[in-house]
Structure 1
Amino acid sequence: MPKALVVRGGWEGHRPVEATDLFLPFLADNNFDVHVSASTDVYGDARLMAETDLIVQCVTMSAVERDELDGLRAAVAAGTGFTGWHGGIADSFRASSDYLQLVGGQFATHPGKEPGARCGDETDNFLPHTVEITPIGREHPVTAGLDDFDLTTEQYWVLHDDLIDVLATTTHPVQPWHPWHRPITSPAVWTRQWGEGRIVVTTPGHSLDVLRHPTVRTVIERGMLWASRTASAS
């Protein structure tokens, strides 16, 4: 039976408990033995990490200790899969450059509405946008057969490197109230090979309704299966 470790915590605005609870039945239905941790100190448990086939992380911002990060990096390099969504993986441990290198992409911002349309709550950053499957994505097991899809939620602007395989993108347009001068395309879904391990990052997922979106949920669930050590060995 493959072992999955769900690590959740950090900023409560992303509702890490409720968000990860959405996927626990899926993991159980796919025969994972699931362990849930409310702290990243579990990453420092070398024995547990060596036995873990998949890590699902939902920890926005927060901080990670050196031994914990070393444990996470070592486990992924040895074949443990690593996946998550939105700020729970792409905006974690901002002060750790080694974590950013592991994941390959970092949240920079989510552009907002026209200033006169803002009301002072999180919806100020909810923009209608399209997530487009790339040519690579149309062939990849995580996104094959899926169509481009539209969302109205936070649209992540991501800083990234060239070691990622981008399965889907989203483009930030030029608007009069923004300082950039040409459209910016950010990865919205990507994979990364790190040693023997597979990483999958899905940037949509700010709120529970987005996580319940059929395509977003499909991408996240396929990503869990593809990233796991069991899949990597096949």
Structure 2
Amino acid sequence: MTQHRALIVRGGWDGHHPVESTELFIPFLEANDYDVQVEESPEIYADAAAMATVDLIVQSVTMSEITHEQVMGLRAAVAAGTGLTGWHGGIADSFRASSDYLQLVGGQFATHPSKEPSQLREGSEENNYLSYTVDITDLGRRHPITEGIDDFELTTEQYWVLHDDLIDVLATTTHPVQPWHPWHRPITSPAIWTRLWGDGRIVVTTPGHSPDILRDANVRTVIERGMLWATRTASAS
């Protein structure tokens, strides 16, 4: 079996557990014959020679900042065939000030609606934990990342995502109308999507706020399949 090179880039806001969450997937990568390198910042993205050797990037960097050279290096690597994947804020809420990054990924976290105001507890992250459904789309039911997975329920942050139509949506989630919210009709957001960029493949999975959600069988299956699917293919140069 040909060994692939996986680059884990992690950091940013500690509330998304970038170290603990990425460590969950290293055994899977190694079991599938990936040589795994871990970096604690996006600095390596600016190293064109290093990036040319990477077959898959697993990114977990919430918010934070990225330089022009770093984001241009990331874009060039993906366009040349390097796969990019991640979950939750580690990919869908990274580098908010970089329009070049947002265009690459195709979707950006906007908010996660909270519980009814009388249920809110001061300072608790569980204020934003809602029970919701991840609905597999028709495309998702035949895509190798989500094939065979039925609609499933989670209780965690439900991401409202701003996105463009260059993404291929494998699953959605719908935010209902509630009396305490200002919107007037249900809003459907992509929950799992792919994106083709040059010779590269991108996979974004929005569930994954905490390690317990990443251990959910459906979430973990989607992320692991997404890693395999996004990895540089033999046809990519």
**What are the residue-to-residue correspondences of 1:106-125 with 2, within 5 Å?**
106-120=108-122, 121-125=124-128
Q: Output the amino acid matched with 1:167.
A: L
**What are the residue-to-residue correspondences of 1:149-188 with 2, within 5 Å?**
149-188=152-191
How far off its partner does 1:8 sit? 0.3
8 Å contact from structure 1 (residues 44, 70) kept in 2:
yes
- 1:33-88 Cα distance to aligned partner (Å, 9 max, x none): 11000011010111110010000000000000111101000000000000000000
Secondary structure, counterpart of 1:191 in structure 2: strand
Give yes or no for the alignment of 1:190 onto 2:193.
yes
How many residues align? The count is 233
Residue 77 of structure 1 is aligned with which of 76, 79, 95?
79
Secondary structure, counterpart of 1:145 in structure 2: coil
How far off its partner does 1:108 sit? 0.1
Secondary structure, counterpart of 1:159 in structure 2: strand
- TM-score between both structures, scaled by the size of structure 2: 0.97
Q: Measure the CA separation in 2 of the matches of 1:153 and 1:35.
A: 30
Secondary structure, counterpart of 1:135 in structure 2: coil
Gapped regions of structure 2 (runs ≥ 5): none
Give yes or no for the alignment of 1:50 onto 2:52.
yes
Q: Measure the CA separation in 2 of the matches of 1:100 and 1:34.
A: 26
Gapped regions of structure 1 (runs ≥ 5): none
Structure 2 partner of 1:88: 90
Q: Measure the CA separation in 2 of the matches of 1:108 and 1:225.
A: 28
8 Å contact from structure 2 (residues 81, 233) kept in 1:
no
Give the ranges of 4+ consecutive aligned residues of structure 1 lying more than 4 Å apart after TM superposition: none
Give yes or no for the alignment of 1:138 onto 2:141.
yes
- 1:91-136 Cα distance to aligned partner (Å, 9 max, x none): 0000000100000000000000000000021000000000000000
Q: Output the amino acid matched with 1:94.
A: R
Give yes or no for the alignment of 1:202 onto 2:205.
yes
Structure 2 partner of 1:230: 233
Q: Output the amino acid matched with 2:197.
A: W
How far off its partner does 1:165 sit? 0.3
Q: Measure the CA separation in 2 of the matches of 1:79 and 1:38.
A: 23
8 Å contact from structure 2 (residues 62, 93) kept in 1:
yes
- 1:184-206 Cα distance to aligned partner (Å, 9 max, x none): 00000000000000000000000
Q: Output the amino acid matched with 1:156.
A: Y
Q: Measure the CA separation in 2 of the matches of 1:112 and 1:133.
A: 23
Q: Output the amino acid matched with 2:232.
A: R
CA RMSD after TM alignment? 0.8
- TM-score between both structures, scaled by the size of structure 1: 0.98
